[in-house]
Structure 1
Amino acid sequence: MDNPKSTTANVSRRFVLAGLAGAGVSSLLPAPALARGKGEYRSLNLVNNRTGEWIKTAYWVEGTYIPDALEAISHLMRDWREDEEIPIAPATIDILAATHNLLDCGEPFEVISGYRTPKTNAMLRRRSRGVARNSYHVRGMAVDLTMKTRSIRQIAGAAKSLSAGGVGTYSRAQFVHLDSGPKRDWGR
């Protein structure tokens, strides 16, 4: 993580500052209430160690998603093998942000895998039984992640408490899968 490149350059400085200024005042809400309320903001702190990119930005302010911030998040979570991206589902980003908020730390999530092209997903399926044929990664609805200062059980526990989307705990590989599909969980 030495000297990572920031992908926040395309994000409006005004929105980043607005999100940071409210850091002590507002907090993320659990999943059922994620889309309600004025005077609130949502932010995300991510690093992609494969590309050296990082982002710490407000992506939703007072009920409105910030298009430049969503684009920057989608770029960071692109398929780095194929250098292709699609928009990451806002619901997935909301689950990530709410999970991070519950962990109560400033450390970024480390993205292992975000969007995957069908080609990348097929290659990973040949290598591992744990890769789904119709993966939510291919739809821009999933992310595999970890964190240095929180265990995968802590990350998965925070995500499960939201009662939103899928949460997979991969103890051997040391990562957590989060998606905005139907509510379910697996692994330990």
Structure 2
Amino acid sequence: MTNDSSLSFTRRALLGAFAATTVAAAPTFTKAAGFLRGAGDIRRIKMFSGRTGERIDMIYWIEGDYIPDAAKEITYFMRDWRTDSTKGVDLRTVDIMAAAHNLLDINEPFMLLSGYRSPQTNAMLRSKSRGVAKNSLHMKAQAADLRLASRSVNQMARAALACKAGGVGRYSGSNFVHMDCGPVRNWGA
């Protein structure tokens, strides 16, 4: 997780992004502005892991505050399953994931393919694939690779891009989308 001042800044940035996307993305993403605004403001994340068989469906933020116990559960859920190691997940990434999920207007949970990666796991994956970055944000617990059965890679990527809050990678050949809280950028087809 990051310090409170950067989370506060990100919260404002996401609020602004959602207000702006209402006009820019309408009518496809008509619910964008309502996601992070108004009374009863909550953020919820729904995921499952095919690797561990675990599921998570929880509210992790209420009325401007992250819930510490929920953040701990998310960190454990998004652990490096190969080494069973954890690193505090940067909740800005979870915010992007939750916002994209909400924009897609579905109940299906994300399938988490990869969250936090230890340096050892990242090096092993890098030795097997040229698509793995040497300094991957996965090693900082700031990225997630996600899949949905009911939505295409392009639909998921468009929803994440509408947030204008981090990196979005399309991996159509492997049927997943990378989302991170790094600089705003996108890649893939």
Do Structure 1 and Structure 2 share a fold, with TM-score over 0.5? yes
Q: Is the Cα–Cα contact under 8 Å of residues 42 and 59 in structure 1 kept in the other structure?
A: yes
- Provide the residue aligned with 1:131 in structure 2: 132
The yes-or-no answer on 1:95 pairing with 2:96 is: yes
Pairwise CA distance, 1:90: 1.0
Aligned residues: 160
CA contact (8 A) 2:60 2:67 kept: yes
> Distance between the aligned counterparts of 1:67 and 1:152, measured in 2?
31
What aligned pairs does 1:67-86 form with structure 2 within 5 A after superposition? 67-86=68-87
Q: Secondary structure at the match of 2:173?
A: coil
More helix by share: 2
State how far apart, in whole Å, the 2-side matches of 1:36 and 1:183 are.
22
Counterpart for residue 31 of structure 1: 14
Aligned to 1:110: 111
- Contact 1:156 1:167 (8 Å CA) reproduced: yes
* 2:47 aligned residue: 46
Match of 2:180 in 1: 179
Distance 1:122 1:181, change over 3 A: same
Q: CA–CA distance in 2 between the matches of 1:129 and 1:167?
A: 18
Identity between Structure 1 and Structure 2 (%):
51
Shift of 1:37: 5.6
The 2-side partners of 1:87 and 1:109 are apart by: 20
Q: What displacement does 1:164 show?
A: 1.0
Contact 2:15 2:37 in 1 (8 A): no
User: Structure 1 stretches of 5 or more lacking a match?
Assistant: 1-28
- Could you tell me how far 1:38 is from its partner in structure 2? 5.2
- C-alpha distance after superposition, 1:98-142 (max 9, x if no partner): 000000000000000000000000000000111000000000000
Mark the runs of 5 or more structure 2 residues left unpaired by the alignment.
1-11, 19-35
TM-score by length of 2: 0.81
Query: What TM-score, normalized to structure 1?
Result: 0.81
Q: Secondary structure at the match of 2:174?
A: coil
What root-mean-square deviation, in Å, do the aligned CA atoms of Structure 1 and Structure 2 show?
Answer: 1.7
> CA offset at residue 39 of structure 1?
3.0
